[in-house]
Structure 1
């Protein structure tokens, strides 16, 4: 038995039969599990609006480690765990020895003995994987540079509550082949829909991730062609957190990839526009589209909480 395995076996009060269940990428779930979570999120949203008690995680503590700041991620997880009867513990690098160079595995060994689950929002995906490998409790990826599974789970929920199954539909991703694009690729394979990714040359998704989704995902150069007949048109900022120094170069590269009313006109008449937010009106999307009748961005923002509540129930209950 390895020293790490022995420590797990001997951990007082935190011994688990087998390894804990983590949510680091969307395909850590099966397609049936995704559908179950979406159905549960519908119910949890209804309970919240009608005042039905749904405190199913009483006394559960969610440690929330933020190496990248966020509005929606912090509020949705903290409010969500509270509504489920638990408590969210906000931890920044300044609150942890991570900020002084402690190995992430050592932090995981300590923190995960004291809480019931951990959500991490960080930079390199290897960091959340390293934490999960040493954790006694479920770990949720709140965002890494490679994947943003909670947001895509939310987007799937937003579609589901308004239109039903996404199987056989068409999604147009316009812009950078980033962590959101990677998570959409995973979703397309898992749930069986067509994904068209309109990306400028040099800004395509990771080749390995794209290869894994080749049966359902296609990279295109023409954003209007990608949007043609699409059920969902979605995008993200041109320069994500940590890419601010590239803003001018990215603005030039992505100038032709703005989602405006002409591009939306190429999609189906009842197509939905999605954006993970924050949005920059006049850059990746016009105000006319973002604030228009096809936009569901504010429902998406709220739905982060409901989708993640369903996820936390599944992992922490």
Structure 2
């Protein structure tokens, strides 16, 4: 089992991961191949801490998938050395190809098309602190990003709807997403993400006025947030800001993901 996109999991898998996130006693032996493109300060911090707390040995392999070598050859050479891969790689297609060629579980720590671990941690917070995930009124604010796509996938797997408020040009036909260009209802939580570099439309910077129209929901700005772009004000000043400590949940959820995938893979006949 891999976690390249959230649709690699079932609703039962996600429920099991969230249950494991409650545990304090998880330990498992194994060797992690760790490759991390870019900064990703929070994700890097929490994954390294997760490796250490679980008792996993890890080796950093910088730019693992940047080589011109075929992914089938990379996997064939490396699989005997590692039990799981955690890779942050912008090229989503190459990451997915590597995962399909490896006999070991591969975790997407961020790609151009998804940020599954981040969204599983944020959804865990919603489920625990705001409302059961199938009942929570969730608004995604702004144009499509990798974070938004992972929320779309989660909604499909878990059987709920999200509303995405963005320009009409970005609206798509998706079973899990209600697209809108105007605020027509209230929400429990609004989630933003950093805009693509090519995007700059001040009309879509989230304001306190927008939040008032939505009933003063919780606000979860996916870091690093940019004041004056996706958010027009300092979110720390807003009473509904979910707070810096909300991101502490990355650690227990990432630990649970690693533990779950390693146990699942070890029981697989593929490796027997």
Normalising by structure 1, we get a TM-score of 0.76
Q: Indicate which of 223, 237, 253 corresponds to 2:194.
A: 237
**1:28 matched to 2:4:** no
2:27 aligns with: 56
Q: How far apart in 2 are the matches of 1:172 and 1:304?
A: 21
Q: Please identify runs of 4+ aligned residues in structure 1 that moved more than 6 A.
A: none
What is the CA distance between 1:161 and its match in structure 2?
2.2
Q: How far apart in 2 are the matches of 1:167 and 1:123?
A: 30
Root mean square deviation, CA, Å: 2.0
Structure 2 counterparts to residues 255-270 of structure 1, below 5 A: 255-269=202-216
Report if the CA contact (8 A) 2:130-2:188 is conserved. no
Higher relative contact order (CA 8 A, sep 6+): 2
Aligned length: 263
| 3-state SS of paired residue (1:76) | helix
1:79 aligns with: 49
Q: How far apart in 1 are the matches of 2:77 and 2:224?
A: 33
Where does structure 1 lack aligned partners over 5 or more consecutive residues?
1-20, 48-53
Residue 169 and residue 160 in structure 1: after superposition, are their counterparts in 2 closer, same or farther (change >3 A)? closer
The structure whose residues are more often helix, as a share, is 1
Structure 2 counterparts to residues 1-317 of structure 1, below 5 A: 21-41=1-21, 43-44=22-23, 47=24, 54-58=25-29, 60-93=30-63, 96=64, 98-202=65-169, 204=170, 207=172, 211=173, 213-214=174-175, 216-222=176-182, 224-225=183-184, 228-239=185-196, 243=197, 246=198, 250-251=199-200, 254-269=201-216, 271-317=217-263
What is the CA distance between 1:297 and its match in structure 2?
4.6
| 3-state SS of paired residue (2:219) | strand
Where does structure 2 lack aligned partners over 5 or more consecutive residues?
264-272
Q: How far apart in 1 are the matches of 2:77 and 2:246?
A: 34
